[in-house]
Amino acid sequence: DADRCAAARALGEIGPAAAASAPVLRPALASRDLWVRVRAAAALWRVTGETEEALPVLLAAWEENRHARVDIAECLAEMGPAASGAQLVILTELTRRRRHNAREGVSGTHDVHLDEKLLTLCRAALARMERGAR
């Protein structure tokens, strides 16, 4: 699965020039592995610019695994207005008192960094959605 994640990430980095890879990415959206699904959905968005298949996968993964939220928020911020279906999820994250990576009795400086990154990406996604709605 690490190879599939790496391949999806590489295709996503290529962007629209890798649009022909979309048929290869689509089956990975149904993978048992959450990270394969997240990487494939982000890559599919980046190569096709279409959200109808990618966004539901990203939102389901957001709820399924809080540790995937930073990666997902990064993709949502890139999507801008196309990710407007995620607006409620992002607003909820921004108003949450208990942070996404808080664990009972355990914390570290890395947790703070990731949480700040998530909040920054959520704000960016929301701002891009709002700019696109005008």
Cα(90)–Cα(99) distance, integer angstroms:
13
Residue 102 confidence class, pLDDT cut points 50, 70, 90: low
Assess whether pLDDT exceeds 60 at residue 26: yes
Bridge partners, 103 (sequence order): 106
Q: Phi/psi of residue 103, each to 5°?
A: -130, 145
Q: What is the mean pLDDT of the chain?
A: 91
- pLDDT, residue 103, reads 58
pTM to 2 decimals?
Answer: 0.89
pLDDT at position 5 over 90: yes
- The ranges assigned to domains in the chain are 2-133
From CA 6, how far away is CA 127, in angstroms rounded?
Answer: 29
* Cα 113 to Cα 91: distance, rounded to the nearest angstrom: 20
